[in-house]
Every structure is written in structure tokens, then in C-alpha cells.
Amino acid sequence: MSINYREMLEKVRDLKVNKDDMPPLRYEEETDLLENPVVIERKHLMNVLKRFKQEIFTQDDLFDWIHFVWFSDLYTCADDDADCIAGIIQVLEELEEEGDIMIDQCFFSCHILYGYRSKGTEDGFCKGWGLQMNEFFIV
């Protein structure tokens, strides 16, 4: 039976398969995926944050997912979403270093992602959002 590794990575991204259940990656598949990585969009990060907020995911689950998709060359962000996703993940990484993430912080991240989607990139919604998030997280 042939395994479609791209489909498996998409299922990990979509939270349908745990990364630990992935079969070993063959060289041919890796080369193809490095040239044409699986795309991460706002909705994927929102889904992970919502599961954490609903306590379906633990903090460890959240960071396992982030580390797997973010630090892997097998994934890339959609061009329109890249800045916003990168900013949210950067703040979440900083929070991980500091300790626990509060549910309110996760809710605010979802709000930023949702607002970014609703308003689009033309009005610069995500420009300067980092300051707003940092102020929120420090308070």
C-alpha cells in the first residue's frame, strides 16, 4: 500500500492525524515536499487555538503542533497570511518560554486572526498588531 505523505501532512495540519502517527518519510517524497510544501492558512492556526481554548488540546499539544508545522520545511504559510501567522506564532513562542498561556491570550490570538481575515490585508490590520498583542499579554 502506497502512502501519500502530502495527504498525511495535510491531516496533521488539519488535526486529523497526530504527527507521531506519521510513517517515515522517503527521500523522493521529501524532495517533492521541500519544493512544494503544504500550505498553512489562518484557518489552520485558528483551529488549533480554538481547540486549546476549548480545552480539547493541552498546551503541550498546541506547541507540539506549532513546532512540527512551523519549524519544518515541509510546510509554508499562504502568502496573504504569512505576516499575521508569523507574528502570532512568535508571540506564542515567547509565551511558551515564559510559562503557561492563558485562555484569554489564546482568545485574543483567535480574534486577531479572525479580524485579519475579515478586514483583509489592504487596510494594514496586522500592521502594528504586535504592539496591541504585546500590550494585551503584558497586562
pLDDT in tens, the chain (139 residues): 467 899 999 999 999 999 898 888 888 888 889 999 999 998 898 888 888 888 888 888 988 999 999 988 999 999 988 888 888 888 788 778 877 666 555 555 555 555 544 444 444 434 444 434 443 333 2
The number of folded domains in the chain is: 1
Residue 110 is part of which domain span? 5-138
Predicted pLDDT at 7:
93
How far, in Å, are 81, 93, 134 from residue 41 at the CA level? 6, 18, 22
Q: Is the pTM of this model over 0.85?
A: no
Q: Is 133 exposed, middle or buried (0-12, 13-18, 19+ CB in 10 A)?
A: buried
Sequence length of the chain is 139
